[in-house]
Amino acid sequence: MPGYRVVGGHGYTVARGWVRFGLKVTTSTDTTIWKQRGTCYHGTNNKTSRSIISIGHLLLPGDKLLDNTVVESVYGSKDYFYTSPSTAYTASRLFRFKHNYISKNSGMYKVQLILRCKQKPGTFQRHSVVIPITDPYISSDIIEWYSSIATAAIPYSAMVRIRKAK
C-alpha cells in the first residue's frame, strides 16, 4: 500500500502507526466531500479536540470551547487554524500534544491524538514549513495549510498513536 495518495487534487500521506476511529459527520450532507475535498490532519489538545468533534468543524483562535474557555492561537496567529497533508508534520513538536498513560503492567506510554479532516479546496493557502520536518511525500513548501474558514475543514477520523515512554 503506497504511503501517499491524492484526493480532491491534493496529495496527503497515509497515516502509518496510527489507529483511526471514524467520527460521525453531522455538518455536511454533501457526499461529494469524500472525492472533492483534500485530506489533511489537524493537531490539537484533548480539550479542544472534544469541542471540534462535538461541533463538527475546526475552530479558530478566539472561538469558545464547550466549557466556554477560548481557543488560543498557534504561534501568534489570531486569524487562522492550521492543517497539513502530512502526519509527520502534524505530529511534530509544535502541534503535538502528548498525554501520559500509565499501564498497571507495562509502564508509561505517550498517547497522541490528531484529527483527519476533509478540507474544501479554495478555502486555504499553503506555505512552507515553519518547523524543520522531513516528509518524503510532501514538499516542504506546501506542507502547511492555513485558513480562516473554520467550517471548511470537517473532521471525520480521530487518529491515535501510542508509544512507550523513554
If one compares 114 and 141, the residue with the highest pLDDT of the two is: 114
Task: Categorize the per-residue pLDDT at 98 as very low, low, confident or very high, splitting at 50, 70 and 90.
Answer: low
- Cβ atoms of 131 and 74 within 8 Å: the answer is no
**Do 91 and 114 touch, CB atoms closer than 8 A?**
yes
Instruction: For cell 502509518, name the residue.
Output: 16
pLDDT tens for each residue of 60-81:
999 999 999 999 877 667 889 9
Q: Decide if 55 contacts 115 (C-beta within 8 A).
A: no
User: Which pLDDT score, from 0 to 100, does residue 51 have?
Assistant: 93
3, 13 Cβ separation under 8 angstroms: yes
What's the one-letter identity of residue 58?
A: L
pTM attached to this predicted model: 0.88
Which comes out higher in pLDDT, residue 94 or 110?
A: 110
